[in-house]
A and B are shown apart, each in its own frame.
Chain A
Amino acid sequence: MIFVLCGVSLVVFYLARGFPSGIDPVTPYIHQRMTAEQIEEVRRIHGFDQPIYVQFFYWLRDALRGDFGITGAWANSRPAMDVFLSAFPLTIQLSSAAIILTVAIGIPLGIISAIKNNKLPDHISRIIALTGYSTPSYWFGFILQLVFFYYFLLWGLPHFPSSGASGMEAAVPWVTGMPVLDGLLAGNLEYALDALAHLILPAFSLAFISLGFLARIVRASMLEVLRQDYITLARSKGLKERVVIYRHAMKNALIPAVTLTGIFFAMLLGGAMITEQVFNWPGVGRLSLRAVFQGDSNFLLVYTLALAVIVVVANLIVDIAYVFLDPRIKY
């Protein structure tokens, strides 16, 4: 794992800094009225004139202390890590809501599909699942906005808000950074509900992609499990089909789905970038896009590295959880 993290930071750093055609690392530190000599001076002070591997070790040293440099004027030159941390809870809120939706819809869909293999419910669930991962996510976001915000508004129906994470002024103290949780913690139900209404469309648009993926995996492993001898035994004991499926088959069928949580998390965090852009969600994905177009490699490095670390840690946790879930596996 340490090796992977080292490799990740090396790859990211070389991609972001190692190419003269790319973003100039000095960009966040300068402003328009600086002369060329002053810019060179700044470059020298920050060590951007050194060879790339020297820069890497300087950067790694600072990064291990939690210092990733500052962002440019687009984020008021705050430290890159602070900017990231202030927006990250929003992305987490979005991704967790999407995960909950994915699990709540994807698993039943997969199970139905497996039980009614090659019958009409299977075909319907297959179409839903495949449509899910064939949909351009930004397009789906727009369609949701168009229908549930714009047309519902025009037709005078209750509509969902189209953008932002919460429409009200932050009347609650900043505890977790997630508006829904903060509102609940402060006992401000109105605020929490408003934040929830803002959350639903983006979360559904994000979940729609991974939902089909999960459904297909659950279906495949459920079909595999249903062919096992112990299921035949359970049936021949005279157990009800419902009991066989939900008590006996489901537990084992869900193990492969659990092991893929890491990949899902990666998918959702990466996909969140698009959803955030569509719904103007003030999370880290949208900030990273701004960073790209403002030529800010400091924030880009924090963002990429943090996401990679999260994915690696999530995979580790899944590996550990696997031992508890599946008694057949021992390390």
Chain B
Amino acid sequence: MKSDGVRASKARTGEWAARWADFKYTLYLLRRNPLVLVGSLLALVFIILSLTANYFVDPSLARPTGYPEFGGNYPFQRSYVWSKGHFINWGPGVKLWDGPEFFYLGTDGWGRDLLKMIILALPVDMENAVIITLLGALFGTLLGTLAGYAGGIIDEGILRVTDIFFAFPGLVLALVFAAMFGRTIPTLRLAIVLVWWPPYVRLMRGQILSEKEKSYVEAVRALGAGYPKNFSVIQECHNVISNKIVALGAGRLKFLMNSFLLLSQRVVNGVLDHLVLLGMHLRILFRHIFPNSIYPTLVQATLDFGGSILTFSALMFLGFSPSPSLPELGNLAADGYSHVFDAPWLIVFPGLVMLIIALAFNLVGDGLRDILDPKLRR
């Protein structure tokens, strides 16, 4: 027994060593690709910044304050550039305002510092992106796994439903949903999740389909994966149930009751057996097939992360913003919509930040795809 344990632990350390070596090789590949490195650093910076944004900037600054004589609006912080006989409003950070503060990116229509609003917007956007990506990927992956593993009519049904959702141009369905359920942030998130899950179904289904035919799945099935080590446990359960049922029926309406009880005993035992079978399937699925087919989904989720921020902000821009003063990158940019030509920084900088976030995550995802793809790896 002891030698068994030692051997197992040795095998385990060997396995971990192999994993560690694999991980180191991944890191090496990562280092060799500078763009991915830059992308991951940027992504990391944005994640940290969004987690600590409220320590940098007082969140109460987002509340719109302003002079009533401007209709609640503060005049923009402007700087003037002389160009070919015209004044154009450009050049943030130039101090023309004699207030106590220096605005690096100028101010917005509410008199708020644009840089601070962008920092405050980061947690909102990151939260949206995480929730949308997680929900979409989770839902799509589960459906895809089910479709791929179960096959048959379940597969067919899930695929047809997915086809229906694939037929809509993404933003259009989200638009209809948002129009119907009002303009709150959870509704908008749900609206995007509604169009976010179908690609994951196809991706996961394809992976599971190709993976479940491989010989290692057959091998673990032959080895009895998911079955109890010895059947005495199950037998014990069966016996206990039988005894209980016999004890219940003893001495009363013997014949009728007993036949009914026997029937129910068989049903209960049958359910038990099916549970064991389900346990086997679930174990094979989640212990063996799932880990081998999850990588493309992870890559897709990373690639979609930036996309979800963009789509959310697009909805904001199209007029589904819950409140015009909400610090959210798309909302800030949409706020500058009516001032494109006289206050371009209102739209340029929030958009630029969005672009950088999305680009960072896309670089990571794109690099991950190359690194994790076994065909491109070696």
Contacts and interface: CB of A to CB of B under 8 A. Distances in A.
Interface residues of B, number: 53
A303 interface: yes
B168 interface: yes
B178 to A, nearest CB: 9
Interface of B is mostly: helix
A12 interface: yes
Contact of B319 (A145, A216, A289, A312): A289
A139 B355 contact: yes
Contacts of B313: 136
B182 A311 contact: no
Contact of A19 (B35, B181, B341): B181
A19 B180 contact: yes
Contacts of B344: 146
Given A266-B169, A271-B171, A126 B366 contact: yes
Contacts of B350: 139
Contact of B314 (A136, A145, A292): A136
Given A8-B167, A223-B376, A136 B355 contact: yes
Interface stretch (A72-80, A127-135, A239-247): A127-135
Interface stretch (A149-157, A171-179, A192-200, A323-331): A149-157
Given A4-B163, A154-B83, A216-B366, A134 B35 contact: no
Given A134-B362, A289-B318, A139 B354 contact: yes
B355 A274 contact: no
A288 interface: yes
A312 B167 contact: yes
Contacts of A127: 35
Interface in A99-135: 118, 123, 126-127, 130-131, 133-135
B175 A288 contact: yes
Nearest to A263: B166
Nearest to B358: A134
B310 interface: yes
B294 interface: no
B137 interface: no
Interface of A is mostly: helix
Contacts of B167: 4, 8, 266, 308, 311-312
B172 A273 contact: yes
A27 interface: no
A143 interface: yes
B83 A308 contact: no
Interface residues of A, number: 57
A270 interface: yes
Contact of B310 (A8, A136, A142, A224): A136
Given A139-B351, A270-B172, A307-B172, A292 B163 contact: no
A16 interface: yes
B84 A156 contact: yes
Contacts of B181: 19, 21-22
Interface of B: 33-35, 83-84, 86, 88, 160-161, 163-173, 175-177, 179-182, 306-307, 310, 313-314, 317-319, 330, 333, 340-341, 344, 347-348, 350-351, 354-355, 358-359, 362-363, 366, 375-376
